[in-house]
Structure 1
Amino acid sequence: MSTATARYTGQLRTEATHSASCNVIFTDAPLDNHGRGEGFSPTDLVSTALGSCMMTIMGIVADRSGLDLTSTTFSVTKHMASDPRRIAQIDVSFQMPAMLSAKDRAVLENAARTCPVALSLNPEIRQQVHFSYE
């Protein structure tokens, strides 16, 4: 079974359906590349997938250790290169709970940096990851 199916709906938009859950996402070309910018662009999804994967892996590690990361948030910033057009850098900034010990922080940060998406991206894409403990 496929992971997802998708169709082009015109005007630089796609509609993708997750095969297992039937959840649907749309993509739009960004404003700076002839699009409407009304949704995630494909490169926005890649960037967001990096942060989501890091958070998910940290969640798995935290659950095993009895840690609660429920209040953790993150933001991603994508930096594009123009020739050829591609993702040059992804910045991920996590706001983590202050109560985590130095040991827990180190374990979680390592888990994030070694998540499957981080390890799958082209090494030429710089991954700048910052952890703030508040």
Structure 2
Amino acid sequence: MIDEELLKDEEIILDFANYNLKNCSRFNRGSILSDLLNGERRDVGLKFLAMHYEEYRQFTDEYGFSSDDIMFMVKQNGLILEIFTNHRSCRDIVREAVQQNPSVLDLMCNNYISKEVFLEGEYINIQNPSQTSFWI
């Protein structure tokens, strides 16, 4: 578990998590991320996950992300959407985030490297979000 005093300084937390990402076993990396996401500094855990989504893509199904979590992570790194749209269990959450806050489409348009994102039955046109269409 991460020391309570360290939890007050976001930079220290991120440095600690980065160090462990490079030097710990896969199990310990997951344990540290879990501590962050389940603790009082979930925001820092989400920021860290957004920064290192490639290394943690296998953990995305385990943490019960809300649409607010996804919005927060997209603001940190729009590429995080690739993970959620590729994990069937997360697609509904992404769709909910898009419906609750249409600006997520703008974030995707600015940050996402693909030209299109497929969500179950929903096609989002990244080049022109106003042309989003639904096909089921």
* TM-score, structure 1 as length reference: 0.29
* TM-score, structure 2 as length reference: 0.28
Structure with higher Rg: it is 1
Higher RCO, 1 vs 2 (CA within 8 Å, ≥6 residues apart):
1
Question: 1 or 2, which has the higher strand percentage?
Answer: 1
